[in-house]
Structures are given as structure tokens and as C-alpha cells.
Structure 1
Amino acid sequence: MAGSYSSSIDMPELPPNFNILVIDIDCKVLELIEKSCNENSHQVTTCSKSLSAVDLLLKKEIDFHLIIMELHMPTMDGFGFLHFLNKEVIDVPFIMMSEDNSAPSQQKALTLGACNYWVKPFLDYKYIFERKRLRSPIIRHHFHFRRIRKNIDSLEDDEISETSYSSDGEAEADD
């Protein structure tokens, strides 16, 4: 078939509305985001402390489709939170937001696994949380995370195939 594209990674099934976790110390920002999410029929959970969000994620009571977090937070900043997500292998798309428009901050966030970096203040909260605008970073995360997971799995398979077992069950590395 000419022009067809085949991928071993399937498209994610996206629900009609998203469960979104928003973390920011600024209560006004949380209120604006919550209002916009509600207007767009998304369920939103807000946290003004990053450690409250960590506890919420570890409990696994809510299946979040997206996490949006302010970079500059007390106790655990956005970079530390991304390290936590990676360490715990929490597969949820993450958007960093900040007034910090510097290239190093944006690059670090994306390198650590953020699928987008939003610069505050937002021009229009109402439209930024429309499903069609959130769909792109969620899909981007899905393919990135699955590709990395697939690469890690293939590395583990290679390590297993490079090991042979002796008759007494002891592993011996191939030279």
C-alpha cells in the first residue's frame, strides 16, 4: 500500500473528557484553570502543594490523563516532580508551566519528560483547556513513553539473550 504508515505503537484511546491534576501555589491560577476545565467538561483536581500531589498519585485512586504543574514550587519543584514520575514509572502526560521563559528551563523540562512547556500568564484560559488543544500533548507523551519503554524492553531482551545457563542453572555471560 503506497503512502500507508504502519507502527507497532497503537494510538491511545482518549476519553471524551480528561481527569487533570493541576499543581500550583497560586490559588488564583488554580481557580482559573479549574473554571476553564469545568467549562470544557474536564474533571480537575487541584493541589497547592507538590507533596499532596505525590500522595494523590501514589494512592492511585484517580486515573489522571494529564498533569499540569508550575515549575517553581516549594519543597518539590517541577523538575523534582518529573524525577518522581520517572522513578515511580507513572505514565501520565506532564505539562510544565512557568513565567520562566528561558530556553534552559524549557529544555530541561522536556528532557526530563514533560510533553509541553507553557509560559504564563496564559492569554486565554478559556480556550487553552479545550479537548482539541490537550489532545496533542497527550498523544505526544503516549508515543514518546511507549518508544522509550519499547527500547528499554528490547535492551532487557538483549541482556537475557547474551546470558547462557550452565547445566547446574548458573548464569554465564557470553564472551
Structure 2
Amino acid sequence: MNLSNDKGSMSTASSSFVSDHFPAGLKVLVVDDDPTCLRILEKMLRTCLYEVTKCNRAEHALNLLRKNRSGYDIVISEVHMPDMDGFKLLEQVVLEMDLPVIMMSADDSKNLVMKGVTHGACDYLIKPVRIEALKNIWQHVVRKRKNEWKDIEQSGSVEEGGDRQPKPSEEPDYSSSGNEGIGIGIGIARLLFLS
């Protein structure tokens, strides 16, 4: 699902990004040194129909990401790991790959959560992680892609050949009457990626 910054391939990437089964197939890399937590997370993520790669060491996860940048859509990482601090992994992923990263820990201290968010994490999950939280991680990927496309659109695209700024009237209305949820989110995702 990784989208190239090549503007010419943007429309091809966007049409292949969202299928009728989205968010099934979301490519998730899970990093945790606790084998029990890793197995439980893998099972829950597979229940959500995501493609899961698991790592028990942050350095191994970073090597996987470097070798195959387009192989993952999102990373979920434990904060406390012996080989590399989860925040160091977060920092490297944000700098090198610009993928959404979700931090997780049994430690729910305000300072730790704040550190995760200020260092670039898109979310912070408290263990034990609930499947309801995992069902919605695709929203971070959609949000990231939307922002990337907005930046490309504002800088002008090859097809349009100019500095086209979107007009307010061109923006679809995503408001709802309190009926927010996955169904609306998927509808928004389809609008964003099929346009």
C-alpha cells in the first residue's frame, strides 16, 4: 500500500489502495519482545483481516523496514524493549520511512504517553490492547495518505501542470450526525482514494 511520491503513479496507487474489502490486507509490522503479547496481537490483528509481520527485536524490525520500505503500512511497537528503546525505533521510522507508528505499553503514565505523541507516534495503546482499538488503526494510514496527497496536490501535479489549489467547493462534506464509525470511515477512505 505504500504510495510512491512519483506524481505520475499517484492515480494508479490510489485506485489500487482501496478495494471493496478495505481495510482488509492492511500490512502491519508488530514489534514486542514479549512472545505472549506478540502472539496475542498477531491473532487479534489477523482477526481484523490485516497482514501481520511480527518481530521480537526492534533492530530486526528496523532492518525489515529498511529492506522493504513499501512492505508495511503501519508499525505497532512496544515502548520498553531490551535491544532498542521503542522511542528510538519510532524516531528512525519517522525520519527514514515516514510511516504511521503506534506505541504501546502497560505503562500508562502521562509523561510516557506525551513523549510518544510528541516524538511522532500517531497513537499510544495501553496494554492489554483491545481488539476494538486494533480494528481502527487503518484510520491512521488513511489520515497520513490524505495529508501526503494534499501536499502533492498543493504543490501541483504533473497531470495538471500547475499550482492548483483545491477550492472549498471541491471538498466533500464529511460531517455526520453523530453516526461516526467504521462504515463512515470506509466511505471517506473510498472517496479520498478513488478520486
TM range (shorter): 0.5 to 0.7
Uncovered stretches (5+) of structure 1, i.e. residues with no partner: 1-11, 154-175
Uncovered stretches (5+) of structure 2, i.e. residues with no partner: 1-13, 156-195
Q: Any residues of structure 2 matched to 1:99-118 within 5 Å, and which?
A: 99-118=106-125
State the secondary structure of the residue aligned to 2:84.
Answer: coil
2:90 maps to 1:87: no
- Per the normalisation by structure 2, the TM-score is 0.61
2:146 maps to 1:139: no
Whole-Å separation in 2 of the counterparts to 1:103 and 1:76: 22
Give aligned pairs, total.
135
Deviation, 1:86, is 3.1
Q: In structure 2, give the amino acid aligned to 1:70.
A: E
> Which range moves more in the overlay, 52-61 or 135-144?
135-144
Whole-Å separation in 2 of the counterparts to 1:14 and 1:111: 30
Contact 1:93–1:142 under 8 Å retained in 2: no
Partner of 2:127: 120
Partner of 2:11: none
Contact 2:26–2:138 under 8 Å retained in 1: no
Q: Based on CA coordinates, which of the two structures has the bigger radius of gyration?
A: 1
Partner of 2:39: 31
What's the RMSD between the two structures over aligned residues?
Answer: 2.5
Matched-pair identity in % = 31
2:63 maps to 1:60: no
- Per the normalisation by structure 1, the TM-score is 0.67
